[in-house]
Amino acid sequence: MRYRRLGKTGLMASEIGFGGEWLERHEESESVALIEYAYEKGINIIDCWMSDPKSRDIIGRAIRAYRDKWYVQGHIGSTYQNGQYVRSRDLKYVCPAFEDLLRRLDTDYIDLGMIHYIDTPEDWNDSMNGEYIEYVRELHDKGIIRHIGISTHNPEIGKLAAETGFIEMIMFSINPAFDMRPPTEDIDDLFVGYDNALSGIDMKRAELYRLCEERDVGITVMKPFFGGRLFNKEQSPFGVVFTPAQLIHYCLTRPGVSSVLCGYDTKEQIDAAVYYEDASDDEKDYASVIASAPLHSYSGQCTYCGHCKPCPMDIDIAMVNKFYDLAAAQATVPESVREHYKSLAHTASECIGCGGCETRCPFGVAVADRMAETAKLFGC
């Protein structure tokens, strides 16, 4: 298992994580064994947005012996009322629910205290002004939550969060299908309405990824498999089937992403996700799948897939393009981006314009032109 720094939190999270929302489907002992198996495979980050007692008890039992080795995303505002989940900012529900989380997880701290599920400007404004956010900050000041995060499906809310300075990481929904959709305040809209004119990565989402990379705000990914739809040709908006390794690689090539939190029902599903760590470049290759799909239009967009390799000058073209996109979106090049670019072993100025990379690019990117633009932008 490889580990990535989760932004400014400094936590080294496993590239493959554990999304816990399916735990309650199974017998408690089975789900406990599933989490323990994930730990054996090197997974060290788990999300617990669920408010139901069963899911929380399962996670508590499973991580108890290795609590200091696990990073827990615990959500503040996910409450259990009258036997069902309710999202709330009312402290008469929020406080007991968070205290219940600590008790059932048998811990006195949460690594990543998540501002739970904000998708609308109204909810953002209400949550950021008043007793709810004061409670979150109090938990942080006391060390009960080590870092402050947020979960959202809306890139515009994600951008607001990244700009606060005190929110250190974001849990965001990422997959190739979602990336083609504009911002929405209703998560259900992301699952419907695809037509025959898929339009490439939405600029609001691309902007969020760039901002998180620039501000050192880590991203953990939810819904990487589009609810399983991308494993089914009839349900996939691309009209083709992806593999877990391809979808995980897609997520991990987005700027700012540290860990992909997959949902699991079986050990075999964990194995399929963790296999990513040993998969070949061909097995990770999502770009060819998208490019050959009957329904897509990524033409001209670099997706950082690395298909352009090898370069005779050993330039990491995907990384150069990524830093170019990060910088070109700003009025001036951020110093953090400039320093990361300059730390590359080979920069764009070394491009000899041979064009070999362009013959391999599935999306027709004019790589040589971008190398020239990048060299001009960064001065090397």
**For residue range 184-235, what is the model confidence (pLDDT) as tens digits?**
666 666 555 555 445 567 889 989 999 999 999 999 999 899 878 788 887 7
Domain locations in the chain?
3-282, 317-378
Concatenated DSSP letters of 4-57: EE-GGG--EEESEEEE-TTGGGS-HHHHHHHHHHHHHTT--EEEE---SHHHHH
Say what the pLDDT of residue 319 is. Answer: 84
Report which secondary-structure segment, H or E, holds 215. helix 203-215
281 by Cβ neighbours in 10 Å (0-12 / 13-18 / 19+) ranks as: exposed
Contact 107, 64 (CB under 8 A): no
pTM, to two decimals: 0.80
Nearest to 88 by CA among 100, 99, 75, 101: 75
Contacts of 233 (CB under 8 A, 6+ apart): 239, 240, 241
Low-confidence ranges of the chain (pLDDT < 50): 196-197
Say what the pLDDT of residue 282 is. Answer: 92
Say what the pLDDT of residue 28 is. Answer: 94
CATH number of 3-282: 3.20.20.100
